[in-house]
Structures are given as C-alpha cells and as structure tokens.
Structure 1
C-alpha cells in the first residue's frame, strides 16, 4: 500500500511497485474505463459533467520512479499493489477532510471514523453512498422491463403453448397454457438492488443507513415489495445477469445505481480474487468534490449553482440568450469561482491568467460589484477570511479571495466536523457582509 496526496509534485517510490503501477500510470481516466474495468468507480459518474475535463486527466503519472498526482483522490489498485491518495489539505493520515466532504455531498451522517482512507473505509463509503443513488434512480419510477411469463388459466391473452398445454391440461378442465410478454417490476435490475439492500442490512458498519430518512425507507420498501422472487442463494446468478452495460433512454439514473450495486456485491471477489491486470478502486475528482461541498452551505447564502449537464442556472455573454456560460456560483451582484488549489495570500499577478480573465468576464456580464475565488487552506491560524485582490478598471468591481481553513489539529472525526461547521458559519458571515 502506497500513501500520497493529490497534487503531490512528485514522490519517489520503491521499484517493487513499478511493474503494477506502470499499467495505470500516464493513462487517461476515460481510457481506463473503456478498457473494461468494471470495479473502478469514479465520481462524478458523468465525466462530462464538469468543465475540468476529468476524463482527460491521469490518476497519476510516472517518470522513472517519480509518481506525480493531480486532482484525483481516493483509492485505486491493480494486482497486489494499492495506492491511497489523500487530500493535500489534510496533513494527518486520517484524511478527515475527504470523508467530511463526501459526507456532506452525499447527505450521509457518520458519527465516528476510526480509520483512514484505505480500501476498507472506501468500501464503507460505497455503502454509505447507496441511499443517495437509490433515491436518484427511484425518483424516475420503479424500473420495469419486458418479461415472458407463462400462465395456465382460462383468461387467454397471449400465445398458446401447445406442448405445455398438452402436458398440463389433458384431460381438458377449462385451463389453457399460454405465454405473454409483459412489463414486470421483478427483473434483474430490481433483484440486483434487492440483493444489495439485503447485503447492507448484514454489514456491521452500515446499520441504519437504509433508515436515514422517510424517502429512503419508502424506496427500500418499494423494492422489497416488487421482488417477491428474491432468494439469497441467487446472488451470484443475479450479478452475472447484470454484467452487460446498462443503457436506457428514460431510466438513465439507474446506470449509476447499478454500478454501485455491482461494486458492493462483487467486493468480496474484488478483495480476495483480484483479476490480473484489472484496475479496481473508488476515486473522486477533487475540484468537483470541493465545488459540490461548497454548494451544501453556499445555497444558504442565496447562491445559484449552475448545472452544465442540465443547462440550468446559466448566464449569457450576449443579449437574446446567446453565449451560455456556467459560473460555479452566482447571485445578484456576486460571482464566485470554486478553486481546489492554494490561493491564500496570492496577488493578482500570481493568479492563473485564465482564471482571472474568466472571473472578470463573468463579473462584467452581470455587472457584479463583488467577485473572486473561494478556496481551501491548511493554515490553522485563521478559520475563514477574505483577501482583497483589487478594484477593476471600468466599473470598479472588487475581486477577492475567500479562504476556508481546514482544521489540522483535531482529536477525532467528530471534533473535525464540529470545527468545520464553525468555519462554515464564519465563511457565511464574511460572504454576507
């Protein structure tokens, strides 16, 4: 097991790790997915969801024995080699920051965390994320598909099955054997979800996550009701029936849910029977996760969080709704750009040219008086602060950096969460001044 951080600027590793790591290194994430690695989960699920082109990124690169990471965090392995990538904004090995962001984004509640981010704790998070994707999928309705059903009664409404009719209904007593192709809620997808629910019920670290809220309980009960043919001994068979990629024009949210279920149910095989040269793991794009985490409390300040994929919340460069753009966060007179990078203390000339040009363009189009960047910091000297960069020529808009400090000296995960909530409140106060 190797442990490093995202954006590590290069780390010298032992040569024994190189043969396996070279199979992953310097490859685009999109290529790794296309190479049939079903046990590799990456968030966001839709690689085109963000403007950061995560599909073009590498999990890490290798130059000789120097391993260099980018914005990707989490856990990944191949053969007998495993690598854990912490957030660089968490100096302790527990990496509470990553766990805290995941907890907030996926609306789960962890009261304690006794381990760091290794493959066991990452698997725990896979279980914790299940209710999130269950709700997203079932909000589209219960999944149904056509099945061939055999009947033997007097209400014929399909194709008569002559052979079965002769076997069952001689001498004739009024029933006719026939086949019908009809929609059924009891199918390979709902059975897969049912097996995952039953697995989670038995897992020692996930007691209660299926009862987090009324909506989760309702959807779990719906799955239990529509899968009367469930049998514990059929788990492997159900998994095998779901090996083919899922694609449906309407039930598209089930694609992510199915992948989560498959990863959960195949975990034991993943752990003890790794396929040669196959990549497995759970990874998160740091920039995406930081942005989605910020949204959990910036929404309380009235900020819009545009969604590029659904084209919601856009601003326009030109009149007549031409030139659609998607700032990370905006409201009347205020533009905020989320940056998962160190910006604290930087002056205008030290900020990336493209980042600066973009925020000024957005501010100009909205005639916003306030704008700038919001970023994390691992400096415990402050908890939340605003640093002015300068006044713009033209209409005098003010560009600033808002910095949220990530606690480093904490006694437990609970202590970390408490301090983060305090820092978030301070940030909200600063933003609303």
Structure 2
C-alpha cells in the first residue's frame, strides 16, 4: 500500500474515533437530569457529572503527551480506547450499588480514556496531510463529533429517560423501601447503553491494534526541549486560554439543554431530550458548514464572526422567555461548533517539535468543562433563576472573541504553511 493510501486509511480510522467520544460526551445532557431526578440532586450537585468528566482532562493530559512522545500516536489511541471501555463497563456496578459517587468515578475513568484519545487524535489529524489544510481537516473530523451530538440524545432519551419522572416532593414522600426500589430502577436504565458502548469500543481497539498507522515524526529537536517549552509560542498560550473558556461554554450550553428546556420552557423531560438532539444536529451542521466556509474565509475571521453571534444569542437565552430561548440555545450550538477545532489547530500551528506538548497543554485546558458548569449551577441555585447562570457561557464567548482577535495578526494559513 502506498504511503498516501496508508495515510488516507489511517485518517479514516482516526476520524471514526471522533464520533465515539462525541457520543459518550453527548449522553451527559441525558445523564444529568436522569441522575438529578434519581438522587434528588441540586443543580450544583448535578453539574458534578461534567466536573467528573472534565477534571480528567486536567489530570491526564500531560501523562497522555508523555505517552505519545515516548510510544507514538497509535499507542496513545489504544490506551485511550481501553480506558474508555473500562469506564463504560463500570456503569454496571455503579447502578447495582445505587451510588452517585460510583457513577462519577465511572465517568472519570471514561474521561481518562477520552483525554488520552483526544490528546493523540487531534494533533494526529492536523499533521496527517497537507499542513495548509490542517484547520479544515480537523473541522471535518470534528464534524463526526457533531453527528454523535445529534444521535446520542435521541438514543439516550429513548433508553435512559423516564416518561414521567418523579418530582423531588414525590420522592421525599416515599417510604425508604419504595424509594430504594425507585432509585434502583432509575439507575439500572443506564447499564444497557454503556455496556453496549463499551463492547463497541473494545472492537474498535482490536481493529486498530492490527492496523498499521503511520507515526508522524517531527524534527530532531522534539526531545531536546522541555515539556512546557511550548508556552514560548504565543498561539499556544492563547490556545490554552481560549480552549479553557470555549469548552466551559460548550458544556454549559449542551449539558444543561434538557434542564433548561424543562425548567425554563416547561417542556417534559422526554420531549426536552429531542431539543438536545436538535442542538446536536445544529452542532453537526455547523461543523460541516464551517468546514465548507473555510475554503473561502480565513478560519480566524469566521471564528470572530461566530463569537459575536454567540454573545448576542446568549443575551436572548438570559433575558428572553418562551420558546425563543430554546431556539437561541440551539442556534448557539450551530455557531460554536467550529470553535474547538479552530482554536486547537491555531494553537498547535507552526510549532514543529513542540506539537505533542502543545496538544497536551491545550487538551489539559478542557478542564474548563469541569470548572465553569458548576459556576453556572451555583449562580442558578443562589438566584433561583437558571437563566442567570448563562452569564457564564456569555463571558466564555467573549474570551473566544479575544482569542480570535489576538491571533488575527498572524494569518492562520501562514502559520500552518510554516509547518511545511
């Protein structure tokens, strides 16, 4: 097989991984209201689902980078898939023990796998092909993440959410025995979907194990500089800041979608899951449309325009009422869709031997998804108004706007071309 054909096969296999981690991430909007109902959680406590996931990105990103530098991209991907599958299987004992903490632990293990997987796969896509098309290529790969964002809420809503969940008052009025049986039934609903997902991930890992993936080597200077040498590059520093706030915004928008629809718009949970699916569809379409526009518009110019639109729509989410607020959230999902891959591609562009280190640092900044949603939940609990919590993603989009403006002087395409 020629090198070019081998690269195409490798790229196809790695792009498929974007779907799988997107799928498990986009089960969280279903899992949050489901566990909140089952365990009678506050908004802040429910937001710990996201915290358990995204804290792993902070803790595991640097070890993931070390694994890649020492063993290569393929080893990182295989280790990530293995941890991903183990975490999925841990949902079974978590449900059997009726323990919210156990669920958070299982999610943390899943996220450890995703951290290593994303630390390997994102830069792999940017360097596997024409450097001048790295941003466009990563946006295309991330489009399959968007496809998962559309499918996951549909399947999650069908197999996890109850038709008529009990209110906190109804649960409190139950006897201890009936309450335990109710919680057991609610938590058991998650076992099937996560077990099937774990089996699929193991099969994917087995396929990749026996597939030759080309490892992209940077120049000889890769091992000479320290891990944090990447911070000497301005675009890396801004990439870490921009990604921290963007991921915080994305998690706030997508993970709280079902809660927002039920509490602000008064929509039943099962129907609300459909709106989460619409947001996923918008997110997916935004990625494909954004990838197309990048043929004609510089990525950072597009990022600037999209950031301004998201800031404006966030004001409607905060101060609007009725169905227009839900549609504003869905539209935000469309316009924020290009942000992660664009920030990432710009953040690792033109830095040669520091690429793997920069990838770890930018992936580590995904911890914004752990830090900022609890702030949204805390503001909502303190004010008694979920909408006011959405000042958090609004401020995040302002930071993304600053990222795009700060890097605008360095044309993105010239940055990428410098890798050649």
Q: TM-score, normalised by structure 1?
A: 0.29
Say which structure is richer in helix.
2
Q: Which has the higher contact order (CA 8 A, sep 6+)?
A: 2
Say which structure is richer in strand.
1
Q: TM-score, normalised by structure 2?
A: 0.29
Question: Between Structure 1 and Structure 2, whose CA radius of gyration is higher?
Answer: 1
